[in-house]
Chains A and B, each alone.
Chain A
Amino acid sequence: MFQVFSKKTIQGVEHSGQFARFFAQSVSASASSCLQASSYSMVWAQMNVIGVHSVPVIMITGAFVGMTLAIQAYDQLAGMGLEEHLGVLINISVVKELGPVLAAVMLAGRVGGALTAELGTMNVTEQIDAVRSMGTDPMRYLVAPRFLACVFLTPFLIIYADLLGILGGFFVSVVQLSINSRAYWQFSAAGVELWDLSIGVIKGFFFGGAIAAVSCYKGFTCKEGAHGVGQACTEAFVGSFILILALDFALAVIFKAIYGTIWPIRILLL
């Protein structure tokens, strides 16, 4: 029992170390790719696959989040006669938490799974070794374009999710629940600050990095055979999901501290 626990702990530490090293290499390769114009075409191609193709599914996710929030929260607020404040609740939840997190989770499923499957198949068919054998760094050729595309496009996708979440909430609140449109927007504008919108978007950079790093790592280390690739995809999604939630918590703590320190004196700073 103790031996099994010890073995699992050692394996866990070993995997964490390998992942940290892989992440550092990804960041380094991505930074050098940013400085090489020849890499831009590869980044552009990945942006199309990862970003543009994800827009519809992210918009659908955002819309349903907004609409569901409106339905769920209406009864509580209406009971207190505060239904016109529904916009504040929906919009702050969407832009600060649910939009970024659910958009990232959706991306982890759609993009992360595809990245792991693609790189995992390349790994087991020796295509990654082939890249190395031709004197090319697979981190620069395969990981960096995907990492950069995820890091830079996840915030934009979150903006799409936020936009549709806001519109979805507005549609249900005003059209279905007959809340006064003017009051809805007035309370929303008063309750949601630029800060709330910003931190949701900033989270996107971290979530995008986490999805790309975990998915590429799992693809690069996947075991042979169809089972190996399938298992790597599952692990990539679960790993990305947990990392997104953990990052969300950590960033919430950090942003809260920053908000508490800087936001009250922002007028003095500007």
Chain B
Amino acid sequence: MTEQGEQTNNVMIRLDGLIKKFGNNTVLDGISLAIERGKTTVIIGPSGCGKTVLIKHLIVLLRPTAGRVFLKDKRIDDLPERRLDKVRTHYGFLFQGGALFDSLTVFENIIFPIKQHTRQVGWNELEELVKAKLALVGMDGFQSYYPARLSGGQKKRVALARAIALNPEVILYDEPTTGLDPIRADIINELILKLQKELGVTTVVVTHDMTSAYKIGDRIIMLHNGKIIADGDAEHIHHHPNSVVQQFINGQLSENDLAALRLGGTKFQTQFLPRDFE
């Protein structure tokens, strides 16, 4: 097999010239990206830069304005919804707020995808399956709880158990540590590492939490103004020459912005102000 062929086989998801516009606002501006199989790719960037829009394109929850999305070399962005349903069973998606179904218990939430896609699973088998999935995220025993009774961190862990219910090949995490205290955020980081190691899944994480990005990322990509401005391992990003990258990873405003702030001005020059794209 050629080197090119090996590289293609190693790619799980590929984006080709992805453009997404909401009205006149271009959120993603020609993103081309190959996500490696079995690795953890972290996408960083300021709030409102389009990270969530990007991750939703990976599973085609949003359709691109232009460009293509491939899963294992098969184009998926042009498939009708009915055919996409089957494709999406290859993915697990952890939403920012967990997105657990309020009206269902933890048990019912986790069996939801199983019941939708697996025929004739016995009740005992389902119970065992849910127990195993919850044990993986340290939430066994919470089967009868409704989401309203769970804390933010617990909701994300249950949502993670639901995301892995169908044994996906790819797990997508949208801001998994946002809104959690540092200890609970670290629990989620450890879980991401554990699942990646034990299940061998391809992982894509969207975050603006640099501690998390450095800890879990095999590869870190920075998104800014709809384009990729940095791409490499943690070391590469840490020493990246681009001032915008340095500003972001160090969480510091530029001298000009600080001066404007001290003067009580409102016209910040920073490029990190979120854009209203919807």
Chain A contact residues, CB within 8 Å of chain B: 121-122, 125-127, 129-130, 132-137, 141
Near A by CB (< 8 A), chain B positions 107-130 give 112-113, 116-117
A130 and B95 within 8 A (CB):
yes
> Cβ of B61 < 8 Å from any Cβ of A?
yes
> Cβ of B173 < 8 Å from any Cβ of A?
no
Residues of A within 8 A of B61 (CB): 129, 132-133
Chain B contact residues, CB within 8 Å of chain A: 56, 59, 61, 81-82, 84-89, 91, 93, 95-97, 99-102, 112-113, 116-117, 162, 166
Given A133-B59, A133-B61, A134-B93, 10 further pairs, Cβ under 8 A: A122-B102, A125-B99, A127-B99, A129-B99, A130-B101, A134-B88, A134-B112, A135-B88, A136-B85, A137-B81
B93 and A133 within 8 A (CB):
yes
Complex alpha-carbon distance, A137 and B61, angstroms: 12
Residues of B within 8 A of A136 (CB): 85, 112-113, 116
A-B pairs, top 9 by smallest CB distance, nearest first, are A130-B99, A133-B93, A135-B88, A134-B113, A126-B99, A135-B85, A135-B89, A126-B95, A136-B116
Complex alpha-carbon distance, A130 and B85, angstroms: 12
Complex alpha-carbon distance, A133 and B89, angstroms: 8
Q: A129-B61, A130-B93, A132-B61 are contacts. A137–B99 as well, Cβ < 8 Å?
A: no
**Closest chain B residue, CB of each to CB of A223:** B278
Residues of B within 8 A of A134 (CB): 88-89, 93, 112-113, 116, 162, 166
**Closest chain B residue, CB of each to CB of A132:** B61
Residues of A within 8 A of B85 (CB): 135-137
Residues of A within 8 A of B82 (CB): 137
B91 and A133 within 8 A (CB):
yes
Residues of B within 8 A of A129 (CB): 56, 61, 93, 95, 99
Residues of B within 8 A of A127 (CB): 99-102
**Closest chain B residue, CB of each to CB of A38:** B115
A-B contact pairs, 8 of them (CB 8 A): A130-B93, A134-B88, A134-B112, A134-B162, A134-B166, A135-B89, A136-B116, A137-B81
